Amino acid sequence: MTAPLSLTFAAWRAGPPKRYVTLAELLVRMGDFGMDLTWRVRLYDEGIHPELERAAAGDRIGTLTLLSLVAPDRQLVDGDYDGYDADGRLVLELQEFDSTSWDVRTAEPWLLDAIHRWFPDAEPSPPGVWDE
C-alpha cells in the first residue's frame, strides 16, 4: 500500500436509536470495492466468535464468506481486518478497537472521503494507532 492515510471514528453512533457500526456494515457500505477483496483476519479475544476464529486461522477469506460469518448486528471487540486486491496487494486495513472505535487505513482517497461522509466525526488517526 503506497502512502496510506487513516481515519478514526466512533463505533457507537448517537440515536435514536443508539447503534454500533459493525464490520458487516462497513463491508457493505464499500460496495464493489469491498466485495472484490480477500481478507486476513486477526482477533484478539479468543472464544467470542469461534467460527470466525476458525476461518481466520487459514488462508485469506473472501468478502462474502466474511459477511456470512459476521451477522449484521454482531459486535466484535478487538480485531484487525486486512483487505487484499486480486493482485495480492494490501489495499485496506480496518482495525476495531475495544468496541469504541474503528480505524481505517488505505491509499484510496475516495474511500477516505466516503468514510468521512458516512461518519462525519472521522478524524485522522492518532499517532501510534498503526504501530506494529
Any idea where the domains of the chain sit in the sequence?
5-124
Residue 86 has pLDDT above 90, yes or no: yes
Q: What is the pTM of this model?
A: 0.84
Q: 49-64 b/e with 16+ CB inside 10 Å = b?
A: beebbebbeeebbebe
Please, what is the average pLDDT of the chain? Answer: 83
For 100-129, what is each residue's pLDDT tens digit? 889 999 989 999 999 999 999 999 887 665
113: exposed, middle or buried (Cβ count in 10 Å: 0-12, 13-18, 19+): exposed
